[in-house]
Amino acid sequence: MTLPCSIIIPVYREPNIKNTILELIDTLHKENFEFEIILIVDCIKNDNMDKIVKTLTLEYNEIKSIIREGKHGVADAIKTGIKNTTKETTLIVMGDGSERPANLIDLISKMSKDYDMVFANRFANHSKIKSYPIKKLIANRFCNFIIRLFFNFKSQDITNAVKIYNTKILKDLVLDSQGFEIFVEIPLKLFVNGYQNFTEVSIFHDAGDKNFSKFNLIAEGPRYFKTILKCFFQK
């Protein structure tokens, strides 16, 4: 039996957020899953994300929305989402529609086998990846290599944002991240605290238009390695 799932989605300047949410809800309904979607929306001037999300919230009982003025950042959005989860498992997904709903269903289903966490793996044998910038790819592979070396953590794609966790162990974490490094901090802290029962699921990942990417390698890179070192010395 599939476990109930809270789905956290940070939203900041996501032009396709409506279609992303509708496709996900439609797939979840077809599978008869019990779920809630928590949208954490950072609104800036001349942005209509709040209007889109408010409309969706009125249409679907499964959607909860937290709308904030200004850019608070992805890490703060994830922390806020975790505080507001109520289901047995928690799935973190980005709002750009880069993953197919069918792959997200695979992650949710895997958690019924008593895993602590399940990762979406963009680099597995049966995965497909589209429009991934070469510089980002090199940094990604190097970061994952360092983590495997330092922690003996046998994940191929620990840096991926898309993961599902046992909610109970997730709520006990104290998270320090300020940016995208939160997607490494969460699994690393769980791993070093003894929650090492995990698996990975092959996915199709579309990185989209790199000109609109919110990930800045120069700004985020040092944060990743600071987080890795901090977790290593806490091990």
**What is the domain partition of the chain in residue ranges?**
5-234
Strands of the sheet with 63-69, listed across from one edge: 63-69, 35-43, 5-11, 89-92, 163-166, 117-121, 198-202
For 99-116, give the DSSP string: B-HHHHHHHHHHGGG--S
Tokens, residue 96: 């750009």
- Of the listed ranges 127-136, 181-190, 196-205, the least confidently predicted one is 127-136
| The pLDDT of residue 148 is above 60 | yes
Q: What is the rounded CA–CA span in Å between residue 37 and residue 7?
A: 5
- Superfamily, domain 5-234: Spore Coat Polysaccharide Biosynthesis Protein SpsA; Chain A (3.90.550.10)
Give the per-residue pLDDT at 234: 82
Q: What is the pLDDT of residues 54-67, one digit of tens each?
A: 999 999 999 999 99
Question: Residue 136's CB: how many other CB atoms inside 10 A?
Answer: 15
> Is 104 within 8 Å of 35 (Cβ atoms)?
no
Question: Minimal CA–CA distance to 108: which of 186, 37, 158, 41?
Answer: 37
Stated pTM of the model: 0.93
- Of the listed ranges 2-6, 46-50, 80-84, 176-180, the least confidently predicted one is 46-50
Give the per-residue pLDDT at 211: 43
For tokens 């209007």, name the residue: 51
Q: Which has the higher per-residue pLDDT, 195 or 223?
A: 195
Q: What is the pLDDT of residues 86-110, one digit of tens each?
A: 999 999 999 988 999 999 999 999 9
Give the per-residue pLDDT at 104: 96
Of the pLDDT bands very low, low, confident and very high (cuts 50, 70, 90), residue 213 is low
Q: What is the rounded CA–CA span in Å between residue 138 and residue 54?
A: 39
Give the per-residue pLDDT at 120: 96
**Over residues 138-154, mean pLDDT:** 92
- The two counts, helices (H) then strands (E), for the chain are 8, 9
H helix intervals, the chain = 17-30, 49-59, 74-83, 101-110, 134-151, 167-171, 182-192, 217-234
Of the pLDDT bands very low, low, confident and very high (cuts 50, 70, 90), residue 74 is very high
Average pLDDT, the chain: 92
Give the per-residue pLDDT at 81: 98
